[in-house]
């Protein structure tokens, strides 16, 4: 059931808008409140925990399930949202960050090893959803998975994945870690196990020494030509796709 819209908010000093603005701007505030901001109609499709929805007064209220809906003067909402040419739809959603104890040993995850670019993280989250992975594991040094730029690039995927935060790879003992590394086995002849954690390294430095030491296996995308490496998100997308294919035939 879709909640009814409340009255129009015309002041930026409104407490709900102040809360929304802090969720957009402040990583620590997001963590403390257990909430984050999601912008755009398509990003909200299929999300289960939309607590508040803010809609500009010049657009139609979208058909999403939200706890409360507020109509906001367009000029005020545009001052709060960081996106140029905003769609005029912003939500507050609940975010749950789990620890390694929540990992499902029968599922597949992607671990982001000090990944710092929000666009890369969001794109990888989107690929995880597309290829049926359970969630993202983030390490210290990663960008916040609930940062606005990550959420926009993810197109709603962040709210559909398990987000696991760890302090060290030692917490993953007993799990199969497959590290993406250009010195690894050719992905074209790699036999993916049923469940595993795929490690995607830092954009500039690649996988950490800790990740290499913890790896059960390493896998690489063969390349020819003048490029030695791929963008982290592109590489992750290729590997996630390959992991969904049938294993190579054995001779």
What does the pLDDT look like over 31-67, one tens digit per residue?
Answer: 999 999 999 998 998 888 899 999 999 999 888 888 8
Instruction: Return the domain boundaries, the chain.
Output: 5-95, 98-243
Domain 5-95 has CATH 3.40.50.1700: no
Give the integer Cα–Cα distance in Å for 196 and 178: 7
For the domain covering 98-243, report its CATH number.
3.40.1280.10
Q: pLDDT tens digit string along 39-49?
A: 999 899 888 88
Token pair 């995607």 in the structure block, residue: 200
Q: What percent of the chain has pLDDT over 90?
A: 81
Tell me the three state secondary structure of residue 191.
Answer: coil
Q: pLDDT tens digit string along 140-177?
A: 999 999 999 999 999 999 999 999 999 999 999 999 99
Helices 118-130 and 232-243, axial angle in degrees (round to 10): 10
Give the integer Cα–Cα distance in Å for 223 and 46: 37
């Amino acid at each position: 059931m879709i909640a009814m819209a409340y009255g129009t908010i015309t002041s930026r000093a409104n407490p709900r808008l102040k809360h929304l603005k802090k969720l957009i701007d402040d990583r620590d505030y997001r963590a403390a409140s257990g909430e984050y901001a999601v912008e755009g109609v398509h990003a909200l499709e299929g999300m289960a925990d939309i607590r508040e929805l803010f809609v500009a007064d010049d657009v139609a209220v979208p058909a999403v399930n939200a706890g409360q809906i507020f109509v906001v003067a367009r000029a005020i909402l545009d001052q709060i949202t960081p996106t140029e040419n905003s769609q005029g739809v912003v939500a507050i959603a609940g975010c749950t960050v789990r620890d390694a104890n929540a990992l499902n040993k029968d599922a597949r995850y992607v671990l982001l090893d000090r990944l710092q670019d929000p666009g890369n993280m969001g794109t990888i989250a989107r690929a995880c959803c597309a290829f049926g992975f359970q969630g993202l594991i983030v390490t210290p040094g990663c960008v916040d998975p609930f940062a606005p730029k990550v959420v926009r690039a993810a197109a709603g995927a962040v709210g559909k994945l398990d987000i696991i935060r760890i302090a060290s790879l030692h917490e993953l003992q007993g799990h199969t870690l497959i590290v993406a590394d250009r010195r690894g086995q050719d992905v074209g002849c790699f036999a993916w196990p049923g469940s595993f954690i795929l490690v995607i390294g830092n954009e500039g430095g690649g996988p950490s020494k800790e990740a290499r030491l913890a790896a059960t296996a390493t896998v690489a995308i063969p390349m020819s030509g003048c490029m030695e490496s791929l963008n982290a998100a592109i590489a992750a997308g290729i590997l996630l796709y390959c992991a969904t294919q049938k294993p190579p035939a054995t001779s």
